[in-house]
Structure 1
Amino acid sequence: MTKSKFIIHYLLLNKYSYMFAIVCIFVVNYLQVEIPRYIQLAVDLLNESTTESKEGLLENVHWVIALSVVMVVIRILSRMYSLNPGRITEAALKNDLFHRLNRLPSTFHEQYASGKLISIINNDLNGIRLFYGIGFLQLFNILFALSLTPIWMWRISPQLTMYSAIPIVIASVIFWLGFRKLRALHAQRLICLQNLSEQLMNYLSGIDLIKNQQMGEWVTNEVDRVNARLFDCTMQIAKIQTFFMPILDYANHFMKVLILGLGGYYLLQAKLTIGEITAFLSYSVLLALPLMHLGRIATVYQMGMISIDSVQNILNNEVPNTDMLRMSEDEKSTLRKSTLLVQNLSYRYPSSKGEDSEMVLKDLSFSIEAGEKVGVLGSIGSGKSTLVNCLNHHLSLGAGHIFWGSKDITQMSRQDWRSYVRTITQDPFLFSDTIFENVKFGAKQPIHGADELNVDQVLKLSQLSEDVQRFGAGDQTLVGEKGIMLSGGQKQRLSIARALLTPSDLIIMDNVLSAVDYETERTILKGVFNRIQGQSLLVVSHRVSALEYMDKILVLEKGEIIARGTHAQLLKSSDYYRETWELQQHESESPA
């Protein structure tokens, strides 16, 4: 979507409100130029003492009061129907951005840090809200004021109108020079805000490490450095706004002096009356308001254009075509309880330098039958997490390597694929909410009544129920941001409970039991086996004890499957498996 199409699209979102606002703005500006005409007539009648002149004076005063009251009412309506669309557009854009961010692949999120995205959604959307709100209002205010007011001034005195335009033209040229410089600075300022937001997010995420390693001084210096760039940019904007933006206001003051001087001369020459000079001065005041607002609308326009560029960087990123395709419920049901087939799977991460990076997975082939329990054993760096991210389609793959039944998962939308597979990662994410809400997060249906027993059941299966009972508020205990109130093992067990709550055809457990002891690990796995009878399970771990009871175990080393079989078979056939088993057995039997 081009910038012009973007602007038109969100303008049409509130087209009826905008159309009514335009009518109201025109009426307000028309009444503004009509009121001085009645003031002119009233002032000229002050020199006359006849009964007719007194009646005419009273009538003109009544007209001024009536038109002023009507103008106030219509001005309120114009502001309501021109400013509210800005808020509506902001809300619609936030929904559109969230919808797009939720569907963009991992390659996009690798390019944009969370801090930058938060800055765009907060700071840049404020610029767009002003653009579609106060920007729209002031634009038509200025257009109507600068078109109607000079016409009424020309009717009184063409010569005085021409002289009055001279300082405005000169000031407009100077204003335009500052306007061009200001746009570049506004773009630079938004980038500085994004960088600052990104940096703060990173430091807040690692605040414990910063404290432990006594890195506070270094972090402070880094934040000061980024903040200093933002400060310098903001100060440059303030300097330009202080000098260039008020130039039109200064020109308007000079125009009033000019009107008084030349108007007085024309009065002495009997070319103008006192009433006409009074009306002309009133028109100069009306002309001053849009000229003063011209600087403001220029700033709003610049912020809006720059903010639209930032937002379009997100909205114009393409969602993969396959993610836009959704399967019907009948098609989904035919693929239930299917076999996961992996054929000749290889993967290397894309290199930022354009060079080929090292192959992480090398020609892997295996299958997971419906209801089968499969384990993957591997040391750190063997490619376990990469394999998991390929299986759940977090990473972009080529076609022809991973199949669910007869369906290639690269030809399915990620949303459809993840209705079959549920992944429990080794670094679970918890929301700042209660334990109960974190467990039921992502459940297909609201959990009420009898379903609440399921939450208790999965907490028991994940060996977390005793811990929860010790909390003062039970499962209504707040876990804090990212689960800060829980230990590492409790977080992992809570993520297991969340995954077990909603049935799925395949559960992938990616080293999720690393933070619990061996006995708790065995108990959890037994409970999981009982819970998911009929469902497939893939357990990825560097612990042999987590894989003892699997139907099949794959041994992964440097991206290759070097052995496969049951626990008993691998103890006989694989030296690597047997040595790892003996070493871990010794560790589990040693005193703490």
Structure 2
Amino acid sequence: MRLFAQLSWFFLREWRRYLSAVSLLILVSILQLIPPRLVGVIVDGVTESHFSTGQILKWVGLMALIAVMVYLLRYFWRVLLFGASYRLAVELRESYYRQLCRQNPTFYLRHRTGDLMARATNDVDRVVFAAGEGVLTLVDSLVMGCAVLIVMSTQISWQLTLLALLPMPVMAVVIKRYGDMLHQRFKRAQAAFSTLNDRTQESMTSIRMIKAFGLEDRQSALFADEARDTGERNLQVARIDARFDPTIYIAIGMANLLAVAGGSWMVVQGTLTLGQLTSFTMYLGLMIWPMLALAWMFNIVERGSAAYSRIRALLAEAPAIADGDQPLPAGRGTLQMDVKAFHYPETAEPTLENIAFTLAPGRMLGLCGPTGSGKSSILALIQRHFDPDSGEIRFHDMALPTLRIDDWRARLAVVNQGPFLFSDTVAANIALGRPGATQQQIEEAARLACVHDDILRLANGYETEVGERGVMLSGGQKQRIAIARALLLDAEILILDDALSAVDGRTEHQILHNLKTWGKERTLIVSAHRLSALTAASEILVLQRGQVAQRGRHDRLVEQPGWYRDMYRYQQLEAALDEAPVDEEATDA
């Protein structure tokens, strides 16, 4: 029952809907009490031979009218009640999605995708079911049960009612115990479902690699193990479910046995008529539904409570990056970085140390260095995925933690090495951050990214569906579409995180030339392994083990001994060898 207390904020806000639904439900319950009483009157009238055919038809017609009214009222209260619960589903999922958007990458290290999806779908459905069907069964069982008890006690015999209810306290204790067991088992079953969901998601997204390595049998075996474990956990829940109905039917059977035995003795003694005993047994039959509903309510509410505890645990996680409250000034600003030290969570060694630079509007910063040297970490700090342990980053001479995150990130356009494309058209993917863009603006961004001609060669041009994650496009095409998407945002700062790794040298040169023309007043930050992408940079930082080993412009760095000169010469030699003509005779030999 604690779920209803936890959802009280929603019930209070939607009180009009719930009050109207409950009122109609009470009216239905009252109307359902009339037919058993009328049946008793008809039985006594027939047995005593003082009812004519017309009178009997009149009472039967009244019962038919009540049945029609009950049908219509049930329709309206269901619309009100379940309409409110569906609103809860929308609100929970919106809150859940906002929470996911606020979290930083460390959150996604702790929570797997399949688990997050399970909470957003299966768990929310259980909570909504409890907020709709649970409220219905609670009110219906209490109203109908109490009303039937009152009528049985006051209109027929309180002694017989008390006798018939003797099995009920025992049943209530047993059902409460079942509910506690169900809560724990269902929580474990939902956790197992999350694991299975995650296994499914991983298998679907990596199906190409699985087939390439011939791992189908191994992955199928792992999936079968997860499915078997999930099935066993749900079977444990089913074993508890299966105990509810037999317990209730035994209690109702005992109640009927006591009622018939006691009622028969009272009829023989003359303290009860046959019609009254008939009505009493019919009223007792009406008690079957409240008892079943009560057990069902315990079942679905405990399931909903277990699911809601999983949702609340995630919603309660505060973002690791606190939002600031200062608005970002209008106009272009200077980006200043002075980071003394930065550690990733749960790592002992510093990832970055003593990183400092100033980047004025219209300037280009290049980042390079060996794999793992800290390039992507610098970009993550600039985007405020993390905050430095010591030092600060400033924009417009304001520390980033004091600024509103949404305002700051609106000034950024980011293209990562592995771009993500949605299962939509090429045009829709380019216009993702600017849905109102015209076709002309979309095509202009595509031309700047040197992907316009490639798009026109697709089956339906800009209206071609790219498939899930852009499966029908090459790596270079996906990168250039992602660059076009970033350019269309017209953001002040453009960040390219090794975003040209999958394009050839000539296309890379043309894109960088276009960016230089496009971004005369915009700030450009480029991280690259291929150093030819950094030749036009205003300043280049050469990183090694999280520190700046060299810095300066390209023409200066190629003259200095060190990693940059060695790598640049190696890449130049590699490019020359790739472009050298092949000696066909030597090849034949």
Common fold: TM-score over 0.5: yes
* Band the TM-score falls in, shorter-chain normalisation: over 0.9
Tell me the distance in 1 between the aligned counterparts of 2:88 and 2:426. Answer: 35
Does structure 1 residue 98 correspond to structure 2 residue 97?
Answer: yes
Q: For residue 556 of structure 1, what is the amino acid of its counterpart?
A: L
The equivalent position to 1:383 in structure 2, one of 374, 395, 415, is 374
Cα 1:60–1:344 change in 2 (3 A) is closer
Please, what TM-score do these two structures have when normalized by structure 2?
Answer: 0.94
Please tell me whether the aligned partners of residues 101 and 314 of structure 1 are also in contact (alpha carbons under 8 angstroms).
no
Shift, 1:55, TM fit: 6.3
> Where does residue 332 of structure 1 map in the other structure?
329
Tell me the distance in 1 between the aligned counterparts of 2:168 and 2:283. Answer: 14
> Where does residue 74 of structure 2 map in the other structure?
75
Please tell me whether the aligned partners of residues 39 and 64 of structure 1 are also in contact (alpha carbons under 8 angstroms).
no
Please tell me whether the aligned partners of residues 425 and 464 of structure 2 are also in contact (alpha carbons under 8 angstroms).
yes
Shift, 1:493, TM fit: 0.7
Tell me the distance in 2 between the aligned counterparts of 1:400 and 1:170. Answer: 67
> Where does residue 583 of structure 2 map in the other structure?
none
Counting only pairs closer than 5 Å after superposition, residues 233-312 of structure 1 correspond to structure 2 as: 233-312=233-312
Please tell me whether the aligned partners of residues 178 and 245 of structure 1 are also in contact (alpha carbons under 8 angstroms).
no
Does structure 1 residue 460 correspond to structure 2 residue 442?
Answer: no
> Where does residue 341 of structure 1 map in the other structure?
336
> Where does residue 494 of structure 2 map in the other structure?
507
> Where does residue 580 of structure 1 map in the other structure?
567
Tell me the distance in 2 between the aligned counterparts of 1:39 and 1:269. Answer: 23
Larger mean Cα displacement after TM superposition, 163-172 or 432-441: 163-172
Tell me the distance in 1 between the aligned counterparts of 2:275 and 2:76. Answer: 32
Q: For residue 446 of structure 1, what is the amino acid of its counterpart?
A: G
Please tell me whether the aligned partners of residues 341 and 354 of structure 2 are also in contact (alpha carbons under 8 angstroms).
yes
> Where does residue 112 of structure 2 map in the other structure?
113
Shift, 1:93, TM fit: 1.1
Does structure 1 residue 497 correspond to structure 2 residue 493?
Answer: no
Tell me the distance in 2 between the aligned counterparts of 1:531 and 1:311. Answer: 46
Tell me the distance in 1 between the aligned counterparts of 2:380 and 2:157. Answer: 78
Counting only pairs closer than 5 Å after superposition, residues 6-405 of structure 1 correspond to structure 2 as: 6-50=6-50, 57-155=56-154, 156-319=156-319, 322-323=322-323, 325=325, 327=327, 331-333=328-330, 336-351=331-346, 356-398=347-389, 400-405=391-396
Cα 1:432–1:203 change in 2 (3 A) is same
What is the count of residue pairs matched by the alignment? 577
Please tell me whether the aligned partners of residues 175 and 245 of structure 1 are also in contact (alpha carbons under 8 angstroms).
no
Shift, 1:517, TM fit: 1.3
Which deviations, in whole Å up to 9, do the C-alpha atoms of 1:66-98 show, x marking residues without a partner?
333222222222222222211111111111211
Tell me the distance in 1 between the aligned counterparts of 2:236 and 2:29. Answer: 35
Q: For residue 383 of structure 2, what is the amino acid of its counterpart?
A: N
Q: For residue 379 of structure 2, what is the amino acid of its counterpart?
A: V
Shift, 1:309, TM fit: 0.7
Root mean square deviation, CA, Å: 2.0
Which deviations, in whole Å up to 9, do the C-alpha atoms of 1:270-328 show, x marking residues without a partner?
2211211111111011100111122211111111111111111222122468526362x
Please tell me whether the aligned partners of residues 375 and 554 of structure 1 are also in contact (alpha carbons under 8 angstroms).
yes
Please tell me whether the aligned partners of residues 324 and 413 of structure 1 are also in contact (alpha carbons under 8 angstroms).
yes
Please tell me whether the aligned partners of residues 556 and 563 of structure 1 are also in contact (alpha carbons under 8 angstroms).
yes
Larger mean Cα displacement after TM superposition, 73-82 or 141-150: 73-82
Tell me the distance in 1 between the aligned counterparts of 2:386 and 2:134. Answer: 42
Structure 1 unaligned segments of length 5 or more: list them.
none
Structure 2 unaligned segments of length 5 or more: list them.
580-589
Larger mean Cα displacement after TM superposition, 310-319 or 528-537: 310-319
Please, what TM-score do these two structures have when normalized by structure 1?
Answer: 0.93
Cα 1:153–1:5 change in 2 (3 A) is closer
Shift, 1:263, TM fit: 2.4
The equivalent position to 2:505 in structure 1, one of 512, 518, 527, is 518
Tell me the distance in 1 between the aligned counterparts of 2:259 and 2:27. Answer: 27
Shift, 1:570, TM fit: 0.8
Shift, 1:40, TM fit: 1.5
> Where does residue 446 of structure 1 map in the other structure?
436
Larger mean Cα displacement after TM superposition, 276-285 or 30-39: 30-39
Tell me the distance in 2 between the aligned counterparts of 1:377 and 1:64. Answer: 85
Cα 1:50–1:558 change in 2 (3 A) is closer
Percent of aligned pairs with the same residue?
A: 27
Q: For residue 100 of structure 1, what is the amino acid of its counterpart?
A: Q
Please tell me whether the aligned partners of residues 86 and 129 of structure 1 are also in contact (alpha carbons under 8 angstroms).
yes
> Where does residue 474 of structure 1 map in the other structure?
461
Please tell me whether the aligned partners of residues 341 and 403 of structure 1 are also in contact (alpha carbons under 8 angstroms).
yes
Tell me the distance in 2 between the aligned counterparts of 1:404 and 1:143. Answer: 62
Please tell me whether the aligned partners of residues 342 and 389 of structure 2 are also in contact (alpha carbons under 8 angstroms).
no
Q: For residue 367 of structure 2, what is the amino acid of its counterpart?
A: V
